[in-house]
Chains A and B, each alone.
Chain A
Amino acid sequence: AQSVTQLDSHVSVSEGTPVLLRCNYSSSYSPSLFWYVQHPNKGLQLLLKYTSAATLVKGINGFEAEFKKSETSFHLTKPSAHMSDAAEYFCVVSDPSGTYKYIFGTGTRLKVLA
């Protein structure tokens, strides 16, 4: 069965410092992994996705994630946090068994301090 674990429920960083949001996955197949972001009172927006083409994936707003099979990880990073990055972030794996429904992590709330 597929699953993702987001290791931190809350992360606080100062503006201008690096962001690291951690995600580990479990999959018996070669996974498709996604990061989504939800700003307050908004819908879920795709940040980036891994589809086996390249292990380092670049997304929108300066975010990137690296797929590491040996560590079963897909951590999200950004070199310099901006106040507008404050949101909740979800790591997602696509279930290959039929409908390709998404399986979500529990989410990480990112707080950016001025």
Chain B
Amino acid sequence: EAGVTQFPSHSVIEKGQTVTLRCDPISGHDNLYWYRRVMGKEIKFLLHFVKESKQDESGMPNNRFLAERTGGTYSTLKVQPAELEDSGVYFCASSQESRIQETQYFGPGTRLLVL
């Protein structure tokens, strides 16, 4: 069974440009989460999808970030325009159920560097 995949693995862009990150969850997993780790800080929650619906986007830093999950399969996270403080590692995770004991399966992350 394929795991969670993310594309690209690395992205280097200039301030003001746009970047789109993609996440493909494990097949059949309705729950998809985005997390981010800014250098030197802990990994923090960004948002949660159940199928195509946003359940919780309380962690999204501002309106420069837009996440979508059309059709309830893969998800994209767009940053427009990118700022220096957006640099970090963006992780995607998926799970079958949404419950307290559920394991989330993580992708390898996208390393974003904004210059």
Which residue of chain B has its CB nearest to the CB of A4?
B42
Bound-state CA distance A102–B93 (Å) is 10
Which residue of chain A has its CB nearest to the CB of B5?
A43
Contact A101 B33 (CB under 8 A): yes
Within residues 7 to 59 of chain A, which ones have a CB less than 8 A from any CB in chain B? 29, 32, 34, 36, 41-46, 49, 51
Contact A104 B43 (CB under 8 A): yes
Interface-located stretch among B14-22, B60-68, B101-109:
B101-109
B41 surroundings in chain A (CB, below 8 A) = 106
Chain A, interface size category, equals: 20 to 34
A99 surroundings in chain B (CB, below 8 A) = 48, 55-56, 98
Bound-state CA distance A90–B37 (Å) is 12
A49 surroundings in chain B (CB, below 8 A) = 101, 103
CB distance from B108 to the nearest CB of A (A): 4
Q: Given A41-B108, A43-B91, A102-B43, 19 other A-B contacts at CB below 8 A?
A: A32-B101, A36-B106, A42-B108, A43-B4, A43-B107, A43-B108, A43-B109, A44-B91, A45-B106, A94-B102, A98-B55, A101-B33, A101-B48, A101-B56, A102-B45, A104-B35, A104-B44, A105-B42, A107-B42
- Count, chain B residues at interface, CB 8 A: 27
Q: Which applies to chain B's interface (DSSP): helix, strand, loop or mixed? A: loop
Give the A-binding residues of B (Cβ under 8 A). 3-4, 33, 35, 41-45, 48, 55-56, 59, 91, 93, 98-109
B45 surroundings in chain A (CB, below 8 A) = 101-103
Q: Which applies to chain A's interface (DSSP): helix, strand, loop or mixed? A: loop
CB distance from A95 to the nearest CB of B (A): 8
A32 surroundings in chain B (CB, below 8 A) = 100-101
A103 surroundings in chain B (CB, below 8 A) = 45
Bound-state CA distance A78–B48 (Å) is 33
Bound-state CA distance A44–B107 (Å) is 7
> Which one of B48, B100, B106 has the highest number of Cβ atoms from chain A below 10 Å of its Cβ?
B100
Contact A104 B109 (CB under 8 A): no
B98 surroundings in chain A (CB, below 8 A) = 99-100
